[in-house]
């Protein structure tokens, strides 16, 4: 028992260090029940009371079922999102529209909406996946460890948040930093599309596979996509776009920084008119 408790604590600590710091279900699973080696035989235990959101979560309207993902429902909610997003004439309007939008279940577990940051008239726009824990708390994109690395990468090619615009495909943190579901991505998509139209950058950089695959509508992996110029097709405009590796990946695989450095040189050349 003592061993089991110690092991459980070590596993929880490991999860926490990896960014999984919230319970996402009303049920906890006792993986030590009966057969210690088989998760398949684990016993599901009803938690009392249900897990509460962590630190500073504002009380919010009851969450929509996060996995309510019938194609029909996603389509209807995405239509609602599209109308709302298209009616926004400025970035401020769009932020307000997102604040009023209840069609994405992630809003219920997030602390803050994480909208874009940077220059509204930037020549270049960086688009990541979704906010993490630090972004959720501060309400700003890329302010945690990977954001600090991104800031250093920007400075290396003469950019910063005064002349670049930084945002995410998804504006609310997925619990435990999980990958957004297709339903969540579909209902948030009109807002990032509109954000691109409103900033109207000369060039877009997709940070990581989730952002690149969603926005370029491809199943190709980021290691194949990165470093190759492509076009992002907006409603009325095509934008030159460059996928590159996500800074969080670089924190885990520092040797890959050389690849991103070569991508950032391409970006600098583009901005200098040398593409």
C-alpha 235/C-alpha 226 separation (Å) is 24
Q: With respect to ligand URA, which residue has the nearer C-beta, 131 or 201?
A: 131
Q: Which is nearer to ligand URA, 6 or 178 (CB)?
A: 178
Cβ proximity to ligand URA, 68 vs 174, nearer residue: 174
Binding range to ligand URA, per CB under 6 A, among 92-100, 144-152, 222-230, 253-261:
144-152
Smallest gap from residue 14 Cβ to ligand URA (A):
20
With beta carbons less than 8 A apart as the criterion, state whether 165 and 125 touch.
Answer: yes
For the CB of residue 132, give the shortest distance to ligand URA in the complex, in Å.
Answer: 4
Stretch of 41-49, 95-103, 131-139, 258-266 contacting ligand URA, by CB under 6 A: 131-139
Residue 129 binds to ligand URA (criterion: CB under 6 A): yes
> How far from 109 is each of 130, 175, 176, 177, CA to CA, in Å?
14, 7, 10, 12
Mapped onto helix, strand or coil, the DSSP state of residue 29 is: strand
By CB under 6 A, tell whether 172 contacts ligand URA.
Answer: no
> Rounded to 5 degrees, what angle do the CA atoms 226, 229, 231 make?
115
d(CA 47, CA 69): 25
Query: DSSP secondary structure string, 43-106?
Result: EEEE-SSPPPP-TTPPP-SPPPPTT---HHHHHHHHHHHHHHHHT--SHHHHHHHHHH----TH
If binding is defined by CB under 6 A, does position 168 make contact with ligand URA? yes
Q: Least CB distance from residue 31 to ligand URA, whole Å?
A: 29
Instruction: Return residues touching ligand URA (CB under 6 A).
Output: 128-132, 135, 141-142, 144, 146-147, 168, 248
């Amino acid at each position: 028992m003592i061993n089991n408790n110690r092991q459980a604590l070590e596993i929880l600590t490991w999860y926490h260090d990896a960014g999984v710091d919230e319970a996402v279900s009303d049920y906890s699973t006792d993986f030590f029940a009966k057969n210690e080696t088989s998760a398949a035989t684990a016993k599901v235990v009803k938690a009392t009371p249900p897990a509460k959101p962590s630190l500073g979560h504002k009380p919010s309207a009851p969450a929509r079922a996060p996995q309510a993902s019938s194609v029909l429902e996603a389509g209807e909610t995405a239509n609602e999102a599209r109308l709302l997003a298209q009616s926004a004439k400025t970035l401020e309007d769009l932020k307000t529209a997102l604040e009023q939008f209840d069609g994405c279940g992630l809003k219920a577990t997030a602390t803050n909406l994480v909208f874009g940051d940077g220059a509204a008239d930037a020549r270049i726009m960086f688009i990541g996946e979704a906010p993490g824990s630090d972004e959720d708390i501060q309400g700003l994109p890329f302010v945690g460890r990977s954001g600090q690395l991104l800031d250093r990468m920007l400075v290396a090619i003469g950019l910063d948040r005064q002349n670049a615009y930084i945002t995410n495909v998804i504006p609310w943190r997925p619990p435990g930093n999980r990958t957004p579901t297709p339903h969540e991505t579909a209902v948030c998509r009109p807002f990032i599309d509109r954000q691109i139209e409103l900033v109207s950058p000369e060039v877009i950089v997709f940070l990581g596979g989730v952002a690149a695959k969603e926005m370029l509508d491809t199943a190709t992996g980021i290691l194949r996509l990165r470093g190759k110029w492509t076009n992002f097709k907006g409603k009325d405009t095509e934008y030159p776009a460059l996928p590159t590796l996500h800074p969080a990946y670089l924190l885990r695989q520092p040797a890959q920084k050389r690849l991103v450095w070569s991508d950032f040189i391409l970006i600098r050349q583009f901005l200098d008119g040398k593409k």
